[in-house]
């Protein structure tokens, strides 16, 4: 059996906000000896390649870092690269554009409208790259493990309809669980790792009040269930509002580092040679997030003893609906909720009823222009 360090890791969207952190974390930890960073921006690749190698050396490693300029919108070209590299693990951080620059204006607009939108209207910016990329993966290296950081709570489920789901997602529920663990450890004055947290939820919990989004939370300390000792909704709000950029009450911040850290830890656990319990979204194409057992290249859902599988599905589908998806058709077409369509029309000036995979590129272009208008209008308001 080959060691972890001998297995090739490929990172897409490596020069983006999250991708840069993730790439440098990999170099810092020395998890692999062979790292491939992919981006469509050659200048940024050269800079990141140099910085990654320097970080690797600083920490006593000698990682071979390879920069690849590739347009992931073309599955045929992407498949050629993948066939040559034969990566064991792929981490996808790619999207058509980042929302981080638009969050202050988005919060401003939603406060003025007294309306909080879901994030399902942003799916085109993620799926327009993830869809053709997963086509290339299935064609060139179908055994590769894929950790997706681009809308995994719903995006993985969409692609699962057509047999193209990534292996698992990262960020979202993992970030929330770690924030809850930190909050409880401070209340009890105990080490965070002495707490065992089990949670089921959809990404919608990072957008809306926990009063509105269903979730299941269990807290154990030395194998004793202490869940009832805490206000669960208070814990969730604390973990999300401080760490993220997504709620109206969040201060100006950036959760890219913890999203990237989650991607690294999920990846490390997934191809480790022992089993690890973590939390992840989109495990094997499911909607939302849950506890998962990772290791030996496998991922499986690990529910609390008192939670049935159907209950998990019900909770996460309700969260998906809160996030703006009414239904996912068998061909991967997303039907938006009436509430999400209201935001799309009144908040962004677009007229979308649904999202078909073949329309995602044009929708992503429209979405970027809409967010640019929103930012300018709110700055001028």
- What pLDDT does residue 240 have? 85
DSSP character string of 348-360: T----SEE-GGGH
With bands split at pLDDT 50, 70 and 90, how would you rate the model's confidence at 107? confident
Could you tell me the pLDDT band of residue 27, with boundaries at 50, 70 and 90?
very high
Banded pLDDT at 1 (limits 50, 70, 90): very low
Query: 31: pLDDT confidence band, cut at 50, 70 and 90?
Result: confident
Q: Which residues pair with 216 in a beta bridge?
A: 200
Q: Taking a C-beta distance cutoff of 8 angstroms, is the pair 218, 232 a contact?
A: no
pLDDT given at position 19:
95
Rounded percentage of the chain residues whose pLDDT exceeds 70: 95
Q: What angle do CA 120, 125, 128 make, to 5 degrees?
A: 110
Band (pLDDT 50/70/90 cuts) for residue 337 is very high
pLDDT value at residue 62: 87
Q: Which of 4-18, 119-133, 140-154, 267-281 is predicted least confidently? A: 4-18
Chain centroid to Cα 334, Å, comes to 18
Q: Which residues are CB-contacts of 149 (< 8 A; sequence separation ≥ 6)? A: 18, 22, 91, 92, 93, 169, 170, 171, 259, 260, 262, 263
Residue 244: per-residue pLDDT: 53
Averaged over 71-76, what is the pLDDT? 95
Q: Which of 133-142, 235-244, 370-379 has the lowest mean pLDDT?
A: 235-244
Please check whether residue 271 is in contact with residue 4, taking contact to mean a CB–CB distance below 8 angstroms: yes
pLDDT band at 7 (very low <50, low <70, confident <90, very high): confident
What are 163-208's pLDDT values in tens digits? 999 999 999 999 999 999 999 999 999 999 999 999 999 999 998 9
User: What pLDDT sits at residue 186?
Assistant: 95
Q: What is the pLDDT of residues 205-225, one digit of tens each?
A: 998 989 999 999 999 999 999
Q: Which pLDDT does position 252 carry in this prediction? A: 54
pLDDT over threshold 60, residue 4: no
- pLDDT at 78 > cutoff 50: yes
CA 316 from chain centre, in angstroms, equals 15
Task: Output the pLDDT for position 119.
Answer: 93
- Domains delineated in the chain: 4-97+115-169 (3.40.50.720), 173-322 (3.90.110.10), 325-380 (no CATH)
Looking at residue 3, its pLDDT comes to 53
Residue 238's pLDDT is 87
Shortest CA distance to 304 belongs to which of 203, 191, 220, 213?
220
Confidence of residue 125 (pLDDT cuts 50, 70, 90): very high
Span 2-14, average pLDDT: 80
How far from 154 is each of 98, 131, 281, CA to CA, in Å? 18, 13, 9
pTM: 0.94
Position 338 scores a pLDDT of: 97
- Whether the predicted pLDDT of 245 surpasses 80: no
């Amino acid at each position: 059996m080959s060691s972890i360090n001998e297995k090739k890791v490929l990172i897409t969207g490596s020069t983006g906000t999250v991708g840069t952190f993730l790439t440098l974390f990999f170099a810092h930890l020395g998890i692999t000896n062979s790292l491939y960073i992919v981006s469509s921006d050659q200048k940024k690749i050269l800079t990141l390649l140099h910085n990654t190698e320097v970080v690797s050396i600083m920490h006593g490693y000698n990682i071979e870092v390879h920069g690849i300029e590739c347009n992931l919108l073309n599955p045929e070209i992407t498949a050629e690269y993948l066939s040559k590299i034969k990566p064991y693990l792929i981490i996808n951080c790619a999207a058509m554009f980042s929302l981080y620059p638009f969050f202050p204006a988005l919060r401003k607009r939603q406060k003025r409208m007294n309306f909080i939108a879901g994030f399902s209207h942003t799916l085109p910016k993620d799926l327009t790259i993830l869809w053709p990329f997963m086509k290339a993966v299935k064609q060139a290296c179908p055994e590769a493990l894929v950790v997706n950081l681009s809308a995994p709570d719903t995006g993985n489920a969409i692609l699962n309809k057509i047999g193209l789901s990534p292996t698992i997602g990262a960020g979202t529920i993992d970030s929330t669980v770690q924030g809850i663990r930190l909050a409880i450890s401070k209340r009890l004055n105990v080490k965070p790792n002495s707490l065992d947290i089990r949670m089921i939820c959809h990404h919608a919990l990072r957008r809306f009040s926990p009063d509105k989004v269903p979730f299941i939370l269990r807290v154990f300390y030395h194998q004793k269930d202490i869940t009832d000792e805490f206000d669960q909704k208070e814990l969730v709000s604390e973990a999300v509002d401080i760490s993220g950029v997504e709620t109206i009450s969040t201060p100006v911040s950036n959760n890219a580092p913890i999203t990237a850290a989650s991607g690294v830890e999920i990846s490390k656990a997934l191809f480790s040679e022992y089993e690890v319990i973590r939390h992840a979204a989109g495990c094997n194409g499911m909607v939302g997030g849950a506890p998962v057992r990772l290791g030996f290249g496998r991922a499986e859902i690990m529910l609390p003893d008192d939670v049935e599988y159907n209950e998990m599905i019900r909770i996460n589908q309700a969260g998906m609906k809160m996030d703006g998806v009414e239904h996912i058709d068998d061909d991967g077409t997303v039907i938006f909720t009436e509430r999400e369509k209201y935001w799309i029309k009144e908040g962004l000036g677009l007229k979308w009823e649904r999202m078909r995979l073949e329309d995602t590129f044009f929708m992503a272009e429209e979405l970027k222009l809409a967010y640019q208008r929103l930012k300018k209008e709110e700055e001028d308001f």
